[in-house]
A = this chain, B = another copy of it.
Amino acid sequence: MPAPEDIPQIFQTTGRRLTSQRRLLLEVLTECHDHLDAETIYDLAKRRDPNISLATVYRTLKVLKAEGIVQERLLEPDGQKHHYEMAANAHYHFTCLECGQVIEFESALIEQACHELAERLKLDVAHARVNLDGHCADCTQLAPMSEDGP
């Protein structure tokens, strides 16, 4: 979770170049506090640089991920689409199966669960991807259950 000012440093150190495209994508990711998929990031970026290509978006996301600047998530229960966001403190996601809304949350209990598992099985937990699904507060009263898709 590097500070914005550190990013040029990070790039320099690894022999990577801070191109206008990469700067732009960092801007987009920083401004939007959402979990965007590559296509959406591409659309947002294209507004300011109509020449940017989707391939560059994917390539840049891969680089930013490798540098630990962004994190990649698989939010949807069966989704094939990856979502990206600036790296931040450990947090997890809840997706409402009804309205699709994604709620971010932190949880000391989940961190505790990771520690407990690490001790129990003598392994090292580097990262926890926790995605809960269900019905958000708004949708709970309307739809108590649901089993399959379209």
Chain A residues engaging chain B, CB cutoff 8 angstroms: 65-68, 72, 74, 77-78, 80, 82, 94, 96-97, 103, 105, 107, 109-110, 112-114, 116-118, 120-137, 140, 144, 146-149
Identical chains in the assembly = 2
Q: List 23 A-B contacts (CB under 8 A).
A: A66-B149, A67-B148, A72-B77, A72-B78, A74-B74, A74-B78, A77-B129, A80-B80, A94-B117, A94-B121, A94-B125, A109-B109, A109-B116, A110-B110, A113-B113, A123-B134, A123-B135, A124-B144, A125-B132, A125-B133, A126-B133, A127-B133, A129-B133
- Give the interface centre of A82, A117, A140 by most chain B CB atoms within 10 Å: A117
Per CB-CB distance, the 10 closest pairs between chain A and chain B, nearest first, are A66-B148, A109-B113, A126-B134, A122-B137, A125-B134, A124-B135, A129-B131, A124-B134, A110-B113, A127-B133
Main secondary structure of the interface of A (DSSP, over half): mixed
Query: In the complex, which residues of chain B have a beta carbon less than 8 angstroms from the beta carbon of A107?
Result: 113, 116-117
